[in-house]
Structure 1
């Protein structure tokens, strides 16, 4: 999922509205003029306040951000200067409604900075981050304002109900977690830490795509690409042309450790080059070295936790999650590791034994060989290859006849593409989202194709969140990184890419079907170890026969995938399942290991690589054949995004998702009755209720049941 712009957490929220109040009284004429010429500083005239990207230019962002800061500063001052006794209405509601201009500007800029970061946008981001961090500190440590919030919390919490009570709790606890109760010296240090972390996280996020581009593998001879399909070879040629043409072909490094292209490359030496380029992209052996950034970020986070009274950052972070603390997280992981290890060992031995049939008895399987021989073994066992099924996964058909079809069956939604809404890139599409009663619910944007200006990975985020108070419909976007086919050709994607589309759309549904009064509580504003549940559950629809048969159609003949090929593919989904679980477990334990350290125990940059190896060895996951999905030096979720001490949430949420999928399977996977219940209890609720309560309200379970996870993964 999306990790937001490395900036202020701005409790002020996303909404569309004109500039209000007296923020510009006494300002220079040029400032006032910009209100009328800057499209970010005035309400959009497009449907539902959609960003008008036909008018928004790079030069508009900083003036809008600065004006937004000034406006919200004035709004907060008005709350503080109110002589009346603090109340929910004059303090909490007033705060909830503040900062609309700033939220609009930052949410739109965040989208651009992540998905289309030109050098100009990167320069703006570098200027904006310190300003936003300073303002976040200004808000978090405004003691006069916090005392009003605290007064309301102390005097009105017990008398409030529903969303009013939850909003007050979230705002008060947000200030406390930010350090509002600290003594002045510690508060000052917290401000310094926040400023430095914002810069470091931005630097880390900016380094990764550049490092990946620098590690591009150039190929002079097409014969070296033997094993790839003609479509993949054409993509290598297209990628080479778009990256300067240093050679006729190139292989682009993706964000994960293992590279999908290794499954088909016959040339072992080239496989080794690709793998080494991946694992060494930012570890100090090349132009880029992320370890100094990692070490400083880890040390500052640990110090931040210590200022707040926690022994490490992980416990500080998890105190606001379903897991609650590291003991619970590790107990969950250790149970999985214990059951996983023998299966992983058997899987590796089986692949090596298979390879030795053709390579000789002394052949030693290397990490860059695993995908290659595993793919061949899978083809032999199930008599099909990924290249055979790809023609049935046209990206447009997957979206309309798969993702939208399932959403229609389960939730009654329909989708209509519209051409009148401008986007930030011509590859994007926009759809109206219509409810069963004909009422418009949202706008859905999708941006699926990779480009050099887009960071790696896939995510969902809102331009604007849903809010009844503001009369705002959600404007939600999904972003992925798929290779776009040459002009005039259909874009065919892999099964993994199909499930990623379903996954991110699950997040989109969580945002689009939100039905909350307050913006702060709506949509995906939930704990990190809950937010991945709706998305992981939505993946289950991809393989339900009725849905699958509706979208898995050959791009030329439009005929459904033959039953025998479909059965082979579906039957093979859990083939070599230990690898997928193992790489996730390893990455999770790397994340927790770093964030369970005290500030004095953080290793040096030179010792960072050894620390990772030691941490993995201690939990039984040091395995060259199954490396972490993301290693320390390119773990953007953790060092550049919002998953610090939280990567475990993918597995934790998967347990919740398996429980939900089991309920659907038992009561009707494609029935409106079950879908409406899931929508009413979970998707529409945002963060308005206790998350365990809303999970239990739907599933009937008093607690998540982890027993089905390994079974669901075929283990």
Structure 2
């Protein structure tokens, strides 16, 4: 999950003015404002947040003040007696609310990455404030009529980014419901408020449920199969979570848990798997289904108000896919190729397990990773524990990710110690272009903690904008287990790819070169935004890059050629699983959002509905469950991927097509990299996305066959 600018939820995010705190009648209120560092312009480079001064109780008053400021800016636009023009309406709107974006971006970064009790408490007031203000802007008819007048009279006369900005602003109003009759408009505003509250409830419940699902272990013997480092991590995790037992296994955000590949104890594997799949389905302390069905009904009603058959149809309007028929056609093509491979691979794993467990052994979902890992070791003569010492997080970052970015785009990175962060484990880097000019600041927050939600993502404290003269302030967040003090953090191959993936999003934000904030960086449709990140994963396995970072943390020796070839050669081993879990999750997302309001099941029926959906499309397979089950599918219930999770597969096709182009023309060649940067990474949402894809690749349409080939299928 990555890229996440969803929290700048209001059009207030598109702005450019300095915060001027209005005079307060109350002396106490004035004193609070004077002491609130968020209400002052940052003195740090590029307006970076000064986390050394920001207090947790600063956010709510700062957001209130910033809302009041933009409200006054909007009123100034609507009170203008002159004929509406691009400059006095659209550009004025684009330049309003700068401080609301700045403050809310900082706040929502902490909501996801460091949600302390104080941050969570403030969220209860901030979310309704932001939702009400979004409604206030989007349903301000006096304001919208000015926007519409400009669209009707100037759209055909404008060019370039001015024309695109007008189009995006106008459509943001109409998509929100600005053309609805009065009574429907009022209901739409109510729905928006209810959805914001429910999505917050879901987001609050999920990390708590994950912590509650922690599997406690009393006897170290139960952890047989784990390395010494793995056992030490279980001990450290137990200590950080209250020490209910000497060891514990933390539940990650996906259905399958990576640790299942190593645990010899079958009963413990079953406990871990069940803790994962039942974390939020009501069998434990938490049940998200009542929230989910309310969200689904409200979204369906919202679509109905807009004259759409269902929420998926409403949501897909401004994507590359365009409609549900195209999405399902894409998915069925993949499912048809996937199913025979999946069935054959499951059979082969069970047959392998029976060699040691006996002919009456029946493979269970919590067994799959364990025996797959053993098969892989037998076939390729290596284990994950053998390669892990070569994936030191610091080397992956500096000698892998930064090295590839230097080779391909000419970028250089310099660590800074003078930029405060919200957590002591974070690092900040200057991002310098080939000519030495500063492009961006890059923050990385890689280690898991109880206050951080699961997953990995990219976002921005501030986006790039030539109009604002603003450099991008970009951050990556992951959930890696931090090694004990004094020891290096060693990653799995999947975690290494996750770092490359999130940095691909970061590049999309850092290399943006757009006039307007609204159009810059990752402000593109969901089924395009994952392309730069998935493409960037391809650099992780290019031999020259791989050999530069995959070095033993003790000796600094590169991974031996034989081991490297075995590992890279195994990447598509039993590859049907990864595709299947993604397809299953995607189909669940689409099914929930293709329902009318009356078709949404009850909370008690939700689990059965999930099984029915997967059965009907041919993906009900206990061996390959959805990557995210309905009850903990944060992308669609708490994030911005409702009816959009398909975009990971859709954009992977684009990424594979682009990787093929790089391979053909020189993967580490600056000429190709500069071309990709100029035509795609720097362009944001300033041109039609299919056009910029075709302009770079020369393809008239994405080649879906390339995806199956890349996955070894």
Q: TM bucket by the smaller chain?
A: over 0.9
State the shift of 1:36 in Å: 3.2
2:8 and 2:101 in contact (8 A); partners too: no
Q: CA deviation at 1:32?
A: 4.1
Cα distance in structure 1, aligned partners of 2:187 and 2:7: 18
Distance 1:510 1:451 in 2: 27
CA contact (8 A) 1:7 1:129 kept: no
Deviation track 1:99-123 (CA, whole Å, cap 9, x = no partner) reads 0111111000011110000111100
Structure 1 pair 17–43 and aligned structure 2 pair: CA distance change class (3 A): farther
2:10 corresponds in structure 1 to 10
CA distance in 2, matches of 1:678, 1:14: 26
User: What is the 5 A alignment of 1:41-440?
Assistant: 41-440=39-438
Distance in 1 separating the partners of 2:306 and 2:168: 18
Q: Is the 8 A contact 2:217 2:246 kept in 1?
A: yes
Question: Where does residue 451 of structure 1 map in the other structure?
Answer: 449
C-alpha contact (below 8 Å) 2:5/2:459 kept by paired residues: no
Whole-angstrom CA distance in 2 between matches of 1:15 and 1:486: 44
Number of residue pairs the alignment of both structures matches: 713
Q: 1:678 aligns with which of 676, 683, 692?
A: 676
CA–CA distance in 2 between the matches of 1:679 and 1:40? 34
1:583 corresponds to which of 581, 584, 588: 581
Q: CA deviation at 1:252?
A: 0.4
Residue in 1 aligned with 2:629? 631
| 1:56-98 per-position Cα deviation (integer Å, ceiling 9, x unaligned) | 0101100100001100100000000000010000000110000
Is the 8 Å Cα contact of residues 15 and 104 (structure 1) preserved in structure 2? Answer: no
CA contact (8 A) 1:64 1:105 kept: yes
Match of 1:612 in 2: 610
Distance 2:73 2:33 in 1: 18
Cα distance 1:96–1:503, how it changes in 2: closer, same or farther (>3 A)?
same
Secondary structure at 1:446's aligned position in 2? Answer: strand
**Whole-angstrom CA distance in 2 between matches of 1:268 and 1:360:** 15
Tell me what 2:19 maps to.
19
Q: Using the TM superposition, give the Cα deviation of residue 12 of structure 1 relative to its aligned residue in structure 2, in angstroms.
A: 2.4
Contact 2:255/2:625, CA 8 A, preserved across alignment: yes
Deviations 1:212-265 (A, max 9, x none): 111111000000000000000000000000000010000000000000000000
Partner SS state of residue 646, structure 1: coil
State the 1:494 CA deviation.
0.2
Matched, 1:714 2:676: no
Note the alpha carbon deviations across 1:669-715, whole angstroms, 9 max, x for none. 00000000000000000000000111011001111111110110011
Structure 1 residues 276, 387: closer, same or farther in 2, change over 3 A? Answer: same
Q: Is the 8 A contact 1:6 1:201 kept in 2?
A: no
| C-alpha distance 256-26 of structure 1, shift in aligned 2 (>3 A) | closer
Q: Check conservation: 1:467, 1:515, Cα contact below 8 A.
A: yes
Cα deviations by residue, 1:562-616 (Å, 9 ceiling, x for unpaired): 0000000000000010000000000000000000001110000000000010000
Of 27-36 and 249-258, more deviation after overlay is shown by 27-36
Secondary structure, aligned partner of 2:11: coil
- TM-score scaled by length of structure 2: 0.99
1:472 and 2:473 aligned: no
Distance 1:680 1:712, change over 3 A: same
Taking structure 1 as the reference length, what is the TM-score of the superposition? 0.99
Q: Is the 8 A contact 1:8 1:132 kept in 2?
A: no
Question: Displacement of 1:35 after TM fit?
Answer: 4.1
Equivalent residue in structure 2 for 1:698, among 696, 699, 704: 696
Preserved CA contact (<8 Å) 1:3 1:641: no
* CA drift at 1:10: 1.4
Does the residue aligned with 1:51 lie in a helix, a strand or coil? coil
CA distance in 2, matches of 1:378, 1:346: 16
Q: How far apart are the structure 1 equivalents of 2:165 and 2:652?
A: 28
RMSD: 1.1
Alpha-carbon distance between aligned partners in 1 of 2:35 and 2:55, rounded to the nearest angstrom:
11
Q: Deviations over 1:501-535 (max 9, x none)?
A: 00000000000000000000000000000000000
DSSP-derived class of the 1:315 partner? helix
How far the C-alpha of 1:274 sits from its partner, in A, is: 0.2
Deviation string, structure 1 residues 597-642 (Cα, Å, up to 9, x no partner): 0111000000000001000011100000000000000000000000
Secondary structure of residue in 2 paired with 1:492: coil
> Alpha-carbon deviations, 1:285-324, whole Å to 9, x = none?
1110000011000000000001001000001001110000
Measured in 2, the distance between the counterparts of 1:589 and 1:176 equals 28
In the alignment, is the contact (CA less than 8 A) between 1:351 and 1:377 conserved in 2?
yes
**1: distance between equivalents of 2:335 and 2:302?**
30
Distance 1:654 1:343 in 2: 20
Residues 519/451 of structure 1: CA separation in 2 closer, same or farther (3 Å cut): same
Q: 3-state DSSP class of the match of 1:278?
A: helix
Cα 1:566–1:5 shift into 2, 3 Å: closer
1:535-570 Cα shifts (integer Å, max 9, x gaps): 000000000000000000000000000000000000
Partner of 1:563: 561
Cα shift at 1:126: 1.2
- Distance across 1 between alignment mates of 2:682 and 2:557: 37
- Show structure 2 runs of 5+ residues with no match: none
> C-alpha distance in 2, partners of 1:391/1:15?
47
99-108 or 549-558, which deviates more: 99-108
Asked whether the equivalents of residues 16 and 94 of structure 2 are also in contact (C-alpha less than 8 Å), the reply is no
SS at match of 2:13: coil
Question: What is the CA-CA distance between 1:390 and the residue it aligns to?
Answer: 0.3
CA contact (8 A) 2:17 2:96 kept: no
Is 1:3–1:642's contact at 8 Å kept on the other side of the alignment? no
Q: In 1, Cα distance between the equivalents of 2:192 and 2:250?
A: 34
Paired position in structure 1 for 2:599: 601
**Gapped runs of 5+ residues in structure 1?**
none
Provide the rounded CA distance (Å) in 2 between the counterparts of 1:685 and 1:255.
33
Question: For residues 465-509 of structure 1, what are the alpha-carbon distances to aligned partners after superposition, in whole Å with 9 as ceiling and x for unaligned?
Answer: 000000000000000000000000000000000000000000000
Distance 2:84 2:18 in 1: 27
